[in-house]
Copies of this chain bind each other. A is one copy, B any other.
Amino acid sequence: MRRKESRPSELLDAALDLFIERGFNATRLNDVAQRAGVSKGTLYLYFANKEELFKSVIRKGMVPYLQRAEQLIDEYRGSSRDLIKQIIRGWWDSIGATRLGGIPKLVVAESGNFPELAKFYLEEVIHRGQGIFARALQRGIDSGEFRKMDVNYALRIVIAPVVLLLIWKHSLQPYERKALKVERYLETHLEILFDGIRSTEKKQ
């Protein structure tokens, strides 16, 4: 079969599965090739080496969502509270609940071995994601919905439980007896959060 265009995507798909399932080191290129239904050599037609394949997997996985989130925030008309809720829920639905949710853990695990990847991820994903939350928080402060705060630190507190949930799900959760109820987890987080950052100025 000969299909140059669709190949890379198929290879990345197979690679994503295996990298998430086994990590970088334990993933055999042979297995990636087999899962994609091609031979080992074919991988090398599209990716210079294992490392480049890995980086491509990460790149392809995260960027699309960020674009959608940035668009949402540009167009949103409701309360900032609802905006943040929606971003987080959307995040979970399109990343967290899918295979892509394994990427953050993967990046964390391999950051030491791939400085270049770490930098790329930091700038193209983390900083960009932080920017989204910074804007959402600032929007709420400006509107009087949220109290004044150091946005750069507050945003980390907003994000942390969700990121850790992702990491958890792809590391220790599988060994846990009872499943975590994601819905309730996020709800608890958002409740505490919005109570914790609501504006107190005009409240009685």
Contact = CB atoms under 8 A, between A and B. Distances in A.
A188 interface: yes
A108 interface: yes
Given A121-B172, A171-B112, A196-B195, A184 B150 contact: yes
Number of copies: 4
Interface residues of A, number: 48
A121 B176 CA distance: 11
Interface stretch (A28-36, A60-68, A74-82, A155-163): A155-163
A21 interface: yes
Given A157-B192, A196-B193, A108 B163 contact: no
A71 interface: no
A165 B160 CA distance: 8
